[in-house]
Amino acid sequence: MQTVTVALGERSYAMHIGQDVLDEVGTVLGQLSVTKKALVVTQPAIAAAYGERVLHSLRSEGFTAEAFEVLDAEDAKSLSWLERIYDRAVELRLDRRSPIIALGGGVVGDLAGFAAATFMRGVPFIQVPTTLLAQVDSSIGGKTAVNHRRGKNLIGAFYQPRVVLIDVDTLQTLSPRELRSGLAEVVKYGVIAKPDLFELLEANTTEGLLHDAALLTRVIRDCCQIKADVVAADEHETGIRAILTFGHTFGHAIEAAGGFSTYTHGEAVSIGMVWATDLSQRMGLCHPELLIRTKRLLESLGLPIALNGRIEGIRDAIFLDKKAVAGRLRFILVEDLGQVSIRDDAPSQLVDEIIEEGLSARSLSKEEVPIRAT
Please give the residue ranges that form the binding site for ligand NAD (CB under 6 A): 43, 45-46, 49, 72, 74, 77, 104-108, 110, 130-131, 133-134, 137-138, 141, 143, 153, 170, 173-174, 178, 181
Taking the complex as a whole, how short is the minimal distance between the CB of residue 275 and ligand NAD, in angstroms? 19
Q: Which residue's CB is nearer to ligand NAD, number 141 or number 247? A: 141
Taking the complex as a whole, how short is the minimal distance between the CB of residue 245 and ligand NAD, in angstroms? 10
Q: Which residue's CB is nearer to ligand NAD, number 45 or number 364? A: 45
Listed in order, strand segments (DSSP E) in the chain are 2-6, 13-18, 37-42, 64-69, 100-104, 125-129, 143-148, 151-158, 163-167, 331-336, 339-343
Q: Which residue's CB is nearer to ligand NAD, number 89 or number 164? A: 164
Among residues 58, 111, 103, the alpha carbon closest in space to that of 81 is found at 111
Taking the complex as a whole, how short is the minimal distance between the CB of residue 283 and ligand NAD, in angstroms? 27
101/99 Cα distance (integer angstroms)? 6
Strand order in the sheet with 125-129: 2-6, 13-18, 163-167, 125-129, 100-104, 37-42, 64-69
Taking the complex as a whole, how short is the minimal distance between the CB of residue 332 and ligand NAD, in angstroms? 16
Query: Radius of gyration (Cα) for the chain, nearest Å?
Result: 21
Taking the complex as a whole, how short is the minimal distance between the CB of residue 99 and ligand NAD, in angstroms? 18
Q: Which residue's CB is nearer to ligand NAD, number 90 or number 154? A: 154
Taking the complex as a whole, how short is the minimal distance between the CB of residue 222 and ligand NAD, in angstroms? 18
Q: Which residue is nearest to ligand NAD (CB)?
A: 106
Q: Which residue's CB is nearer to ligand NAD, number 178 or number 278? A: 178
Q: Which residue's CB is nearer to ligand NAD, number 171 or number 298? A: 171
Residue 313, SS3? coil
Taking the complex as a whole, how short is the minimal distance between the CB of residue 159 and ligand NAD, in angstroms? 10
Decide: 262 and 311 in contact? Cβ < 8 Å: yes
Among residues 137, 70, 131, 136, the alpha carbon closest in space to that of 100 is found at 70
145/139 Cα distance (integer angstroms)? 12
Q: Is the dihedral of CA 106, 244, 332, 274 positive or negative?
A: negative
Distances (CA, A) of 80 to 75, 76, 138, 198, 306: 10, 8, 22, 41, 37
Q: Which residue's CB is nearer to ligand NAD, number 29 or number 134? A: 134
Q: Which residue's CB is nearer to ligand NAD, number 127 or number 280? A: 127
Taking the complex as a whole, how short is the minimal distance between the CB of residue 233 and ligand NAD, in angstroms? 16
125/115 Cα distance (integer angstroms)? 9
